[in-house]
Amino acid sequence: MHIPDNYLSVSTCLTLAAATVPVWARSIKTVARDFPRERFSALGVAAAFSFLAMMFNVPLPGGTTGHAVGGTLLAALLGPEAACLALSIALLLQALLFGDGGVLAFGANCFNIAFILPFSGYYSYLLFRSLLGSSAGVRNYVALALGSYLGINVAALAAGVEFGLQPLLFHNAEGQALYCPYPLGVATAAMAVGHLTVFGLAEVVFTLASYAFIERTSPQFATNPALTQSDDGATARSTRSRFNAIYLGIALLVLATPLGLLAEGTAWGEWGTDEIAEVVVDGQPLGYTPEGMTNGFQWNALVPDYAAPGMPEWLSYILSAIAGVACSIIIFKLLALCLRRPKLA
């Protein structure tokens, strides 16, 4: 679901980025108002969790891959505005450092993954929780599973529509697409198939497993009232201790990230200019490379595809994961200084 550069036109990227700006503004205002300075470390941890989740590629029959995001998980734990900021930082690091998702398409990716996914997943979760009549226990997990499944599928549908509109709106005199060459029916179906099946299930599993881990080991990490109180209504544990288990969980995820290398293939809609002409759709290869991809914007990432030259792929993947986690936490520590609330007179 990471849209690379030159799959969307410049005008499409700018439009989606402009649509995301008020969401970022609301999110920043809400987090600055509601999160005390010491709580900003939770946002860095949230960004790290999502960054790592997106490194675990899952194969789909047919040779494509996808991954979980954890957007509804973060929204359920910290609120959708905090999730939006955490996911945006994770996407920014992926684009700038590792070329995972485009730099020009950053606003479009944030619109889908940092806005549509956590907000639709979160409010679906709240709706199902209300319908099921409980905010705790098994019913809460069922609501969270349904919310996370819907959230990632709504986001995937949005990406499919954005892909599919490109050949309709932008093509040359010969009728060849300038950007993403696949029409609306093909693009939306391709995105739907993977996310309604394997990738949606991966999102549910990651969400429930992570939520259960945090509920059991670090309930005060969350702002969700269902987690922030222990059974007797008292504070569960100190600020310092509540993060110890989470940092251990992150460390284990970092060490496990090479498992994401086992999934061979490229995610649908993320082919490079050297391979898109040969991609088979509807039984035949495309046969050309869109002009906008050939002559479009290029960004030289520091470690493209998480693979450092001259280093074993598994080691490079682990070091990339460490860098992503470290940068996520550092960025939010710096933001805590910038967004600290003024003292009352």
Q: Are the CB atoms for 128 and 146 separated by under 8 Å?
A: yes
Q: Give the CB-side neighbour count of residue 46, counting CA atoms within 13 A.
A: 33
| Domains of the chain, residue spans | 10-339
Residue 236, SS3 per DSSP: coil
Strand runs (DSSP E) across the chain, as ranges?
58-60, 64-66, 280-281, 284-285
Contact by Cβ (8 Å): 31, 81? yes
Other CB atoms within 10 Å distance of the CB of residue 55? 25
Direct distance between the N- and C-terminal alpha carbons of the chain, in angstroms, rounded to an integer:
48
Give the pLDDT confidence score for residue 234 in this predicted structure: 39
Q: What type of residue sits at position 178? A: L
Beta strands in 1-114 (DSSP E): 58-60, 64-66
Q: What is the pLDDT of residue 280?
A: 78
20-28's contacts with Cβ under 8 Å and 24+ in sequence apart are 20/107, 20/110, 20/111, 20/114, 20/115, 23/84, 23/111, 23/114, 23/115, 24/84, 24/85, 24/88, 24/110, 26/81, 27/81, 27/82, 27/84, 27/85, 28/85, 28/339
pLDDT of residue 341: 52
pLDDT value at position 62? 66
Q: How far apart are CA 156 and CA 194, in angstroms?
A: 9
Q: Under CATH, to which class is 10-339 assigned?
A: mainly alpha
State residue 1's pLDDT score. 81
pTM, 2 dp? 0.91
Whole-angstrom distance, CA of residue 330 vs CA of residue 325: 9
Phi, psi of 194 (to 5 degrees): -65, -40
User: Average pLDDT for consecutive 10-residue bins of the chain (345 residues)?
Assistant: 93 97 95 84 92 91 82 95 96 96 96 97 95 83 96 96 95 92 93 91 95 86 56 43 78 94 84 86 84 91 92 95 96 80 47
Distance CA 88, CA 110 (A): 6
